[in-house]
Structure 1
Amino acid sequence: MSLFPSAGLPQLDNTLGAWLLGTFFGTLLQGTVYHQAYRYFRLYPNDPMYLKLWVAAVVLIETLNTALTWHASYVYLIKNFANPIALLGAPVWSMSVLPIPGSLAAVVSQAFFARRVYMINRRYTPIVIVAMACFLSFAGFYIGLSIRSLKVHSLPESLKFSWMASTGSSIMMAGDFLVTSVLIFALRKSRTGIPRTDSLLDLLIVYAVSTGFIICIFNALNVAFAFAFPNNLIYSAFSIILTKLYANTLLVALNTRKSLISRGIIGENETSPFMSTILRRQKASAVVIAHRNTSEITSTALPSDSATIELKMVSEHSEPSQVALNRDGYPRDDKYGSTRGIDAAATV
C-alpha cells in the first residue's frame, strides 16, 4: 500500500487518518497516566525519592510525547486543512522528533521491571543485561530514525527508513518477552506451600502475564504493520499507543500495592508484589524471622522513618532461622544474596 493513490495525491486514511487515531487513543491513555500518577503520589508519600523521580520522569516524557503528536496533528489537519499536498513536503519537526522521547519513555518504564528481576535473584544478572541491551538497542534505532527524518526533504522520503522502526520494535519485543518470562519463572519457582504466600504469587503471575500479553500484542502489531506497510503511517498509531501502555504498566504495578493490602492478601508491613528488594541504605536495618511451617512474619525496622521492610522467603529445604540483614540489604553471611529463596520487599 503506497502513500500515493492513482491520482497522484497523498492518501489520507493510511497517513493522517492513522496518525490521528493514534493521537486520540494515546491522549486517552495519557489521561490514565495522569490519574495513576496522582494516585501514586497520594498513596505512597513515603516511597524513596528515586522512585518518585522515576515516576515523575515517565509522566513528563509521556506529556512531551502527547504534545508532539498533537502539534503534528494541528500542523497537518488545521494549518494545512484541505491541503493534502503538505504531506509531500518535509515532515513537520514534531513528527520527526517524536521517536526520541517515545523510545525513552519505553526504556525508562521497562528498566524498572528489569531491575525487579535483577533484585529477585542476582543469578538473573546475565538475562537482565541482555534485556537492557535490547531496550537500549531499541532506543538507538528510534533515535537514528529521528535523526534521519530531520534530514529528509519529504515525508515519503522519511518513510524509507521505517525499517529502523520495525527492527527496533522487534528487538524491544524480545526484551519484553525475556523479562516477563523470567519474572513468571521466578515467581512460580518461589512457591512455598503456604496458602497466603502462594495466593499472592498466583496473583503476581496473572498480573505479569496479562500486562505482558497486552504489550506484546501492540508491539507485534507495530512490527507487523511496519514490515508489511513501510510506506504509510499505520504503524505509527501503534507506536504512539504502545509508549502509553508502558507507562501505565509501571504506574499500575506501583499502585496495586494498596489494593492488595486492603484485600488482605498482604499486610501493612509485608512485602509488595511489584517492588523488589529495596532497602534504604544507611537508614534502615531489619531482622526478619521466617518459620518454615507458618505464614507468620515478624520484623523490626530501625529507624522508624524507613518504610521498607525486607522479607526473606526461606525455601522448604532450609532450616528455620533468624536472618540478619546488613545495611545493604543482604544476609550477613552472603554478599550476593541468597539463591535458596526469592527476595521480595516493598515500600509501603
Structure 2
Amino acid sequence: MPPLVSRNDTLGALQVGSWVMVFLFGVETIQTYYYFKRYPNDRLWLKLLVIWIWLEEIGHTTSVLTGMYLLTVSDFGEPGALRVETMPVGFAWSILFSGTVGPIVEAFFAHRMYVLSGQPDLPIIAFCLASARFVGSTIAASKVFGGISLDDFSTQWGWLNIACLSAGAGADIIITAGQSYYLCREKSVSFGQTLKLLDRLLAYTIETGLVLSMSAVIILLLWGTNPYNFWWFGIFLFYTEVFANCLMTVLNTRKVQGDVCEVISMLSTPHITLEHSSIPGRNSSRRSHHRPLKHEMTDGMDVEPRPRVSPGSGPRSPCAYVSFPRHARGYSDITIVVPQEAKLA
C-alpha cells in the first residue's frame, strides 16, 4: 500500500516538470532556428538530424501536455488522478520519444568521439549502451500503453527504469571521458592560441557530459529515496529536452567567436602545428604545400570551416594553425587558423 503523500509531491511534481519541459522546448526551438540561420552549408545528414530531433521534441511536448490536461482537467477531482492510478497514453508516448531522442544524441556524440580519436572501442561501447537504453525505453512505454499506475510502474518496473537510466548515464560518462582524454592528449603537444582553443573545446565537452549524466543520476537518486514521490518522474518529463539542448549547444558553438577560426588546409604530418604569420607573403613556402580543403568539418569538430582571406585583401593578423587528426576520414590532419588577437578564453 503506497503511503499517503501530498498533491505537491504527485500532480504538483508532474506540473512543475511539464513547465520546465515547455521552457526547454522553447530554448531548443530558438537554437534550431539559430542553427539553420548560421550554418546553412552544413551537411545534409546533419540538417536532417536537427529537424528530426526537433520534430521528436514537438511530439514529446504534445504528449506530456496532453497527459497533464487529462490528469488536471478531464479527471479533476477524481481520487485516482491524484495518485495517477492510470498513466495517460500521452505519458507512454513521452517515454517512447525520450527513449528515441536520448540514444540518437548519444550516438552522435559517440560518432564525434570516433572522428576525433580514430579509435572505435569506446564509441562502440557507448553506442551499445545507447541502444540498450532505446530497447528498455520501448519496453517501458509498452507497459504504460497497457494501462498501469505510476506507483506500479515505479515499483514493479523499477529495475527497468534503473537499467535504462544507468545505461544512458554510462554512455554519457564514457563519451565525456573519452573526448576529454583525446583533447588532453592534443593539449600535451600544443601551446599558445592552440592551447586556448583546446581548452574551450574541453570545457564544452565536460559541461555537456556532466549535464546529461548528472540528470540521470538525480532521477535515480530521487527514485531510490522515495519511489512513491513523483518528483523523479517530473524531472524525467524534461530529460529529453536536456538531450536536445545539449546537442544544439554543441552544434551552435562551433563558431568559437565570429571569425576566430578558419580551416586552411590538410597537412601530411599527423600532429598539431603552431605557425605565426603577420605578413601576407611570409611563410609562403610552407603554405605552397597546402592542399585546399574540400570537406566541411561540420560533423565532428566544434569549429566551423571559414573561407580564407585572399592575399592582397589587406594585412593579415598573426595566426595560430591548429591541426586535428581525422583518421576516420582517411586523411591526416585538418589545420585551423586562429587570429592571435581573438579572445578565446
TM-score when scaled to structure 2? 0.78
Task: Read off the aligned partner of 1:115 and give its amino acid letter.
Answer: H
Task: Assess, with a 3 A threshold, how the Cα gap between structure 1 residues 44 and 64 changes in structure 2: closer, same or farther.
Answer: same
* Cα distance in 1 between the residues matched to 2:84 and 2:242: 31
Does residue 330 (structure 1) correspond to residue 318 (structure 2)? The answer is no
Q: Which moved more, 1:132-141 or 1:182-191?
A: 132-141
Does residue 301 (structure 1) correspond to residue 307 (structure 2)? The answer is no
* Cα distance in 1 between the residues matched to 2:335 and 2:22: 34
- 3-state SS of paired residue (1:164): helix
* Cα distance in 2 between the residues matched to 1:231 and 1:242: 19
Other-structure match for 1:313:
323
* Cα distance in 1 between the residues matched to 2:177 and 2:217: 17
1:295 is displaced (CA, Å) by 5.2
CA contact (8 A) 1:180 1:212 kept: yes
Task: Assess, with a 3 A threshold, how the Cα gap between structure 1 residues 295 and 175 changes in structure 2: closer, same or farther.
Answer: farther
1:122 is displaced (CA, Å) by 2.0
1:195 is displaced (CA, Å) by 1.1
Task: Assess, with a 3 A threshold, how the Cα gap between structure 1 residues 314 and 112 changes in structure 2: closer, same or farther.
Answer: closer
CA contact (8 A) 1:61 1:101 kept: yes
Does residue 164 (structure 1) correspond to residue 145 (structure 2)? The answer is no
- 3-state SS of paired residue (1:262): coil
CA contact (8 A) 1:145 1:162 kept: no
Other-structure match for 2:258:
262
Q: Which moved more, 1:65-74 or 1:192-201?
A: 192-201
Q: Which moved more, 1:131-140 or 1:161-170?
A: 161-170
CA contact (8 A) 2:96 2:137 kept: yes
* Cα distance in 2 between the residues matched to 1:314 and 1:41: 26
CA contact (8 A) 1:169 1:219 kept: yes
- 3-state SS of paired residue (1:82): coil
Other-structure match for 1:238:
235
Does residue 175 (structure 1) correspond to residue 185 (structure 2)? The answer is no
Task: Read off the aligned partner of 1:226 and give its amino acid letter.
Answer: W
In the TM superposition, 1:120-199 aligns within 5 A as: 120-123=116-119, 125-159=120-154, 160-191=156-187, 192-199=189-196
Task: Read off the aligned partner of 2:212 and give its amino acid letter.
Answer: I
Structure 1 residue runs without a partner (length 5+): 271-285, 316-324, 332-337
Task: Read off the aligned partner of 2:200 and give its amino acid letter.
Answer: L
Other-structure match for 2:112:
116
Q: Which moved more, 1:157-166 or 1:206-215?
A: 157-166
1:3 is displaced (CA, Å) by 4.7
1:221 to 209, 218, 221: 218
* Cα distance in 1 between the residues matched to 2:101 and 2:168: 13
Other-structure match for 1:84:
79
1:102 to 87, 98, 103: 98
1:307 is displaced (CA, Å) by 4.3
Task: Assess, with a 3 A threshold, how the Cα gap between structure 1 residues 199 and 155 changes in structure 2: closer, same or farther.
Answer: closer
* Cα distance in 2 between the residues matched to 1:251 and 1:103: 18
Identity %: 21
Other-structure match for 1:18:
13
CA contact (8 A) 1:166 1:222 kept: no
CA contact (8 A) 1:219 1:238 kept: no
1:151 is displaced (CA, Å) by 2.0
Task: Assess, with a 3 A threshold, how the Cα gap between structure 1 residues 295 and 65 changes in structure 2: closer, same or farther.
Answer: farther
Give the CA RMSD over aligned residues.
2.9
* Cα distance in 1 between the residues matched to 2:25 and 2:273: 45
Task: Assess, with a 3 A threshold, how the Cα gap between structure 1 residues 82 and 237 changes in structure 2: closer, same or farther.
Answer: same
Other-structure match for 1:334:
none
* Cα distance in 1 between the residues matched to 2:149 and 2:199: 52
Offset from partner CA, 1:143-180 (integer Å, 9 cap, x none): 11111122245443333223311221011111100000
Other-structure match for 1:40:
35
- 3-state SS of paired residue (2:253): helix
Q: Which moved more, 1:180-189 or 1:152-161?
A: 152-161
CA contact (8 A) 1:120 1:344 kept: no
CA contact (8 A) 1:90 1:153 kept: yes
* Cα distance in 2 between the residues matched to 1:225 and 1:68: 23
Task: Read off the aligned partner of 1:256 and give its amino acid letter.
Answer: T
- 3-state SS of paired residue (1:190): helix
Q: How many residue pairs were aligned?
A: 300
Other-structure match for 1:210:
207
